[in-house]
Structure 1
Amino acid sequence: MANSPSGDSMLDRLVRILDAFDQHTPSMSVLALARRAQIPKATMYRLLDEMVSHGLLSRGKDGQVTLGLRLWELANRSAATQGLRKAALPFMEDINALLGQNTQLSLLHEDEVLIIERLSRPGSVVNQASVAGRMPVHRTSMGMALLAFSRPEAIHGFLERHRELMLATHPNFRAEMAEIRRNGFASMDGYIDEETTGVAAPILDLQGYALAVLSVVVPRGSATLPAAALALRTAARGISRALGYAADA
């Protein structure tokens, strides 16, 4: 694609525009979008018109810009997550009904936890996860379970990139990883919200490495924690089996 005077390609600029939106900033003005995407104002107005015409962005009567529905359509055609979500949903519904708490399906993507499905539950505890949202590996049971069951070279690479952060929050990192692998699940108290505990069990492939993770958040100190861990492990094995992987991998 043609480069701009600054040397970045058109694709680079389009990705920066889309990346400017997140769960905390779902809409913004054109000028704010130009600043966040680091694109000149005149160029931003031109690109905005094109992206709106293709449904990639939407512009309201108040001038606020949001992501367009076309992106949702494209994302839901993704073969990478479609089969996983289809296999996981029946098990997620059972967990959701059994525990009475929001239930998430997530995977590790670009050194963050990416939420690909969530089932809500009225009256459940505070839960920061949202579909298409990202959460930090080191502060979530989802992230720690995914990391513990990653390939050794993936764990090593992650540590190399985030060593200071991980060792600051998890000084006994290797012991924690070993315990998660031994138990088959991860639990973390109060890292995101002080009054809650996250519980997560990995969905494994034939070699025993994590494809994704199933998780819930329960009240901190809840007597349901052992039952939640058991239910998640059982459901995770069922999802692995539904995907064609051995239940005892």
Structure 2
Amino acid sequence: MIPGVMSAVHVRPNALKMPPSYAIASVDHALKLAIVLQLEGSLTVTAAAERLGVARSTAHRLLQMLVYRDFAVQDDDRVYRAGPVLGPAAHPPSRTAELRAAALPHLQRLSAALDESVNVSILSGDTTRFIASVECQRVLGVTTREGMVFPLHRTTTGMLRLASLSDPDLLEYVERHADTRRSGRRALLRDVAQVRRAGFALNVERSEKGLVAIGVPVSWVGSGLVTGLSVSLPLVRYDERQLDRYVALLRAASAALSRDLRGHAAHATSF
């Protein structure tokens, strides 16, 4: 087993994400709230409404349904928290919430600079979980990744993690998770080698057909979270000649976010 990577979460390793033909907004909203509760620990009705972009009455009904089904509980102070169905989160909720709050201003600036959708994700077991996204304003763009979960080898943050492993641990992961065909294993090892050389990850249709992502690591020493910052865009708009620009802007945003996170940690320890 890869050190620090659990195998309790099982995701179909070769399944691309495909949005449903007839999405049900209320179900999607409820699932998003459940994910936020598990990752961040608590929500008020007002905060839930803001996160979903819906009326407070709608957010209240969604949260009440989560309580009814034990996905949430409500405290005496009327704050909603993760219920018994969700179980303990893989990461300290306070750290995840802190990361999301610190990342959002950087995501907004980065999305404006690139005119594309951008994301922050963390490792969760042997998967990557997206905890914050800012969508671009283009008609043809990548929708929010927030709350979505993929195997490591399907995301840029996961590929960065795989690139940091020793060769034996990497080979073990490849045998357990990569495409069962020999060509799939060779392709993954080739891509990981490229990540090691370049210091960033390029994901061409690994997570979704027609989607390209470019990602860099975010340094947050002592947090216990392995974090990555990425831009996602349609394959038809990807221009390889712009790759250096994408990476430079991502690295600048990552460095700025890392500084903010260190500043938050220093401020917290001063009290």
User: What pairs with 1:1-249 in structure 2 (closer than 5 Å)?
Assistant: 27=27, 55=64, 57=66, 73-74=81-82, 78-123=93-138, 125-127=140-142, 129-149=144-164, 155=170, 158-159=173-174, 161-165=176-180, 168-206=183-221, 211-220=226-235, 221-222=238-239, 223-244=241-262
Measured in 2, the distance between the counterparts of 1:153 and 1:244 equals: 33
2:135 counterpart letter in structure 1: S
Which deviates further from its counterpart, 80-89 or 171-180?
171-180
SS in 2 for 1:171: helix
SS in 2 for 1:116: strand
Measured in 1, the distance between the counterparts of 2:73 and 2:138 equals: 30
Measured in 2, the distance between the counterparts of 1:55 and 1:154 equals: 44
TM-score norm. by structure 2 comes to: 0.56
**Contact preservation (8 Å) 1:112, 1:136:** yes
Measured in 1, the distance between the counterparts of 2:181 and 2:163 equals: 13
**For the structure 1 residues 93 and 72, does the alpha-carbon distance in structure 2 shift closer, same or farther, using more than 3 Å as the test?**
farther
**Contact preservation (8 Å) 1:203, 1:236:** yes
* 1:190-241, Cα deviation, whole Å (9 max, x unpaired): 334444321111113459x972111111343424332111111221222223
Shift of 1:167: 5.7
SS in 1 for 2:101: helix
**Contact preservation (8 Å) 1:91, 1:235:** yes
TM-score norm. by structure 1 comes to: 0.60
**For the structure 1 residues 124 and 205, does the alpha-carbon distance in structure 2 shift closer, same or farther, using more than 3 Å as the test?**
farther
Shift of 1:182: 2.6
**Contact preservation (8 Å) 2:178, 2:185:** no
Shift of 1:166: 8.9
2:242 counterpart letter in structure 1: T
Q: Larger RCO: Structure 1 or Structure 2 (Cα < 8 Å, ≥ 6 residues apart)?
A: 2
Shift of 1:98: 0.3
Measured in 1, the distance between the counterparts of 2:181 and 2:152 equals: 9
Measured in 2, the distance between the counterparts of 1:237 and 1:167 equals: 38
2:252 counterpart letter in structure 1: T
1:238 counterpart letter in structure 2: A
**Contact preservation (8 Å) 2:215, 2:229:** yes
**For the structure 1 residues 140 and 211, does the alpha-carbon distance in structure 2 shift closer, same or farther, using more than 3 Å as the test?**
closer
Measured in 2, the distance between the counterparts of 1:72 and 1:97 equals: 33
**For the structure 1 residues 166 and 91, does the alpha-carbon distance in structure 2 shift closer, same or farther, using more than 3 Å as the test?**
farther
2:233 counterpart letter in structure 1: V
Structure 1 gap segments, 5+ residues each: 1-22, 29-51, 60-64
SS in 1 for 2:226: strand
* 1:154-198, Cα deviation, whole Å (9 max, x unpaired): 646634532555965341444432321332211122334444321
Structure 2 gap segments, 5+ residues each: 1-18, 29-60, 83-88, 264-271
Measured in 2, the distance between the counterparts of 1:156 and 1:66 equals: 40
Residue-pair matches, total: 193
**Contact preservation (8 Å) 1:115, 1:129:** no
